[in-house]
Amino acid sequence: MQTFARLLSFVTFILSVGLLTQALPTATGNGLAVREYSTPAGYNGGSGYNGGSEYTPSPSYSKEASPVSKESDPSSKIDLLALVTKLHTDVEPICKELEVAATIEVATGIVDKIVLVIKAFVALIVNVKLDLSVDLKTAIAVKIVACISLIVKALAAVCVKLGVNVCIALIAKVDVCLQLLLITLNVCVQGLLAIIIDLCLKLDVSVLAAIKLLNLELLIKICALVKAVAGVAL
């Protein structure tokens, strides 16, 4: 178990560096990221997702959905609740695919889809600062926690089937991706992460058990779930 934990920590660190580097905000980079992930070509190119996957990204992740003018504040152009709702809608069917994945190769492809969808969302809110009401923050937090629950439960289901050790790279990839999502949201909306943490502490036992099974260290730390997860029996 200690060997597994060390290996998972190492893989998570490597993936974290890679994802955080890709997420570094640049003026032209943000535009390219949104353009890349909001078109079918973005999923087809370089990631191996062609017609066979039958997955098309949501049009809500396009520039048209959240137009940004150089002469105006981009924050006023973004409806974060609508984007988060769309994120949940897009992630849900992919998670259903992941739950029934029969091989590690299939599971890897599906997890990569989830990562691309989340990175598409993150690309839209990098460098954006929003001042939202508590009610709106809470509504957004509920959707984000629902997304996390879907992803975690689906990944746990496939890990039980294929073996946790076999899925170690997938676990690390999801852990890093969820950390990136939460960190970006925290920068975007002050106080949002605190609400997310509060909701996570009230998660269903089945979700907490899935988090413990997967040993999602980054998610556990950022959501202050150490005690909650420790108290769950597998």
Whether the pLDDT of residue 59 is over 50: the answer is: yes
Nearest C-alpha neighbor of 118 from the set 158, 145, 91, 85:
91
Cα(26)–Cα(77) distance, integer angstroms: 19
Model pLDDT, residue 197:
98
Cα(19)–Cα(176) distance, integer angstroms: 7
Q: What average pLDDT score do residues 142-163 get?
A: 98
Model pLDDT, residue 143:
98
Cα(14)–Cα(33) distance, integer angstroms: 21
Give me the residues paired with residue 41 across strands.
none
Q: What average pLDDT score do residues 178-183 get?
A: 98
Model pLDDT, residue 114:
98
Model pLDDT, residue 166:
96
pTM, two decimal places: 0.74
The pLDDT-based confidence of 15 (bands split at 50, 70, 90) is: low
Model pLDDT, residue 65:
47
Domain chopping of the chain, boundaries:
2-230
Model pLDDT, residue 75:
59
What are 134's two structure tokens? 């508590």
Quick one: how many helices (H) and strands (E) in the chain? 11, 0
220-226: long-range contacts (C-beta < 8 A, 24 or more apart)? 222/179, 222/182, 222/183, 222/193, 223/182, 223/196, 223/197, 224/197, 224/200, 225/200, 225/201
Model pLDDT, residue 77:
79
